[in-house]
Amino acid sequence: MATTAPLVLLLPLVLLLLQARWSSQQQQQVVTAVIVFGDSIVDPGNNNGLHTLIKANHPPYGMDMLNHEATGRYSNGLIPTDLIAQQLGVKQLLPPYLGVDLSPDDLLTGVSFASGATGFDPLTPVVVSVISMDQQLAYFDEYRGRLVDIAGEAETARIIEGALFLVCAGTDDVANTYFTTPFRSAEYDIPGYVDLLVGHAEEFLRELVVSSRGARRIGFVGMPPVGCVPSQRTLGAASPPGPASPSETRRRCCTTPGPRR
C-alpha cells in the first residue's frame, strides 16, 4: 500500500517545501530541525524492531537505496521527509527515532517518530501492533529531554521553535480499520467516522501547539486518494481484467471503496 503513497503526496509536500524555503529566504529564518509524526508514508524504520508484520526492512523495499538496502522505509528509495530535509539543507536522511544509534547531530537536526500502519483512531495501531500517535508524542517528550542533555534548555528551545514539524496520518484508519475490519464500520457510518478522525487529529495538533511542546511551524498532510493505493485496488477489484479507459482509471484512483456491510 505505502509504496505509491509518497508519489500521491508529492504535490502538497512540494508546496509545503517551497513555502518553507520562501519563508527562510524572505525572513532570514533557518529551519533548525525536521520532526515527523505519522504512518508509513513518513516512517523511515521505526517499525523494524516491533513485534508486528508491518515492516519494510526486506526486499523489494530499498532497491534504489545505497547497496540496495531495505532500511525500513516503505519505498524503493527515499521517502518525502528525506527529500524535504535535503532541500531545506538540514540533513540527507531523516532517521527513525527507534532502533538506530543516533549521534548528537542526528538528534539536534530532527528525527521521525512515524510508524507504518498507525493512525489517528486509537484502535488502528492496536489492530496491527504498531506505535500510536499518543506514543509518538511520548517519544517526542523523551527526545526533547535528550536534546536538553546535549545542548541545554535554551538551545533546545531554539531548536524546537525553529523546527519544521510534519504530521501525516489517516490513510490506515480509512483503508484498514474502517473498510477492512468490522470494528468501526459496525459502529459508525462514513461521516461519523470522519468526525472521529478529525477530532483525534485536532487533539493531536493541540498537544503539539497548545501544550508546552513548543511546535510553531506544522505541516499537516492530507490523505491521498485511498482507492488508488495497491492494497485497496487489490481488495476491492471488482472490474474485469485488462486495460482501463482513461476515465475509468481516474474513477478508480479518485474514489474510495464503499463500506462492506
C-alpha cell read off for 17 = 517545501
pLDDT score of 220:
95
Between the alpha carbon of residue 210 and those of residues 81, 120, 164, 197, 203, the distances in Å are 24, 18, 16, 19, 10
Please give the Cα distance from 241 to 161 (Å, whole number): 52
Do residues 104 and 150 lie in contact, with contact meaning Cβ atoms separated by under 8 Å?
A: yes
How much is the pLDDT for 40?
95
* Cell numbers describing residue 133: 500517535
Give the chain's count of helices (H) and strands (E): 12, 3
3-state SS, residue 103: coil
Sign of CA pseudo-dihedral 112, 58, 120, 127: negative
245 as an active site residue: the answer is: no
Query: Which residue has 482507492 as its cell numbers?
Result: 227
CA–CA separation, 93 and 111 (whole Å): 9
Which distant-in-sequence residues (6+ apart) come within 8 Å of 95 by Cβ? 44, 45, 102, 106, 111, 112
Determine the pLDDT at residue 233: 79
Looking at 23, 24, 40, 247, which residue is catalytic?
A: 40
Query: In whole angstroms, what is the distance from residue 165 CA to residue 176 CA?
Result: 26
pLDDT per residue as tens, the chain (261 positions):
443 333 334 445 555 665 655 554 544 458 999 999 999 999 999 999 999 999 999 999 999 998 999 999 999 999 999 999 999 999 999 999 999 999 999 999 999 999 999 999 999 999 999 999 999 999 999 999 999 999 999 999 999 999 999 999 999 999 999 988 999 999 999 999 999 999 999 999 999 998 889 999 999 998 878 778 777 778 776 544 444 444 444 344 444 443 333
Choosing among 1.20.120, 1.10.760, 3.40.50, 3.30.70, the CATH entry for 5-253 is 3.40.50
Please tell me the distance from the alpha carbon of residue 161 to that of residue 156, in angstroms, as a whole number: 8
Instruction: Give residue for cell 530532527.
Output: 110
pLDDT of res. 15:
57
Place of cell 511520548: 138
For residues 146 and 133, the answer to whether their CB atoms sit within 8 Å is no
| Length of the chain counted residue by residue | 261
Domain boundaries defined on the chain: 5-253
Helix, strand, or coil here: 38? strand
3-state secondary structure 167-222: EECCHHHHHHHHCCCHHHHCCCCHHHHHHHHHHHHHHHHHHHHCCCCCCCEEEEEC
Return the bridge partners of 37, or none.
167
Q: Which of helix, strand or coil describes residue 164? A: strand
